[in-house]
Amino acid sequence: MISKKIVVVDDDESIRKTFFLILQKKFRVFPVKDAKEALSRFKSANFDLIIADINLPDLNGMDMIGKFRALGYKGEAILISAHPDLVRMDDMRRFSISHFFVKPLDLGALNKSIDYLLFSKEQEEKRLGG
């Protein structure tokens, strides 16, 4: 049974489709085109991971993750971008963004990070009693 839910926010349809095709075997994947759609569809939904492009048409991905955090989202977050110069490490820490990947994406490394965030980290916390 697939129980982990991932929201993928990217204005590039090919990126959304790629994520959907790669991740759908292990996760419930919800691809959306911009921050406005993500915030309106998922503000009260329970999901485990946000994967967001930093350069979205309406609100950058980092600020969108900040809005989700303000709404009480405590899950994991991964930021992706073709423009690494737009990413500030202090903002990543402030919004508890776990990983950052530069486009074009290394899908193998991205898959390992997702598995770690959603499975290994969970097992480690159980082992440590937290």
Whether residue 100 contacts residue 76, with contact meaning beta carbons closer than 8 Å, is answered with: no
Q: Residue 122 corresponds to which tokens in the numbers above?
A: 């969970």
What gap in Å lies between CA 97 and CA 91, rounded to an integer? Answer: 8
* Domain parsing of the chain, residue ranges: 5-127
Per the CB < 8 A criterion, the answer to whether 68 and 95 are in contact is no
Instruction: Report the distance separating Cα 100 and Cα 72, nearest Å.
Output: 22
Span 5-127 CATH architecture: 3-Layer(aba) Sandwich (3.40)
CA 61 to chain centre: 9
Predicted local confidence at residue 8, as pLDDT: 98
Residue by residue, pLDDT tens for the chain (130 residues) are: 678 999 999 999 999 999 999 999 999 999 999 999 999 998 777 899 999 999 999 999 999 999 999 999 999 999 999 998 888 889 899 999 999 999 999 999 999 999 999 998 666 665 566 5
Separation CA 31–CA 34 (nearest Å): 9
**What is the predicted pLDDT for the residue at 127?**
54
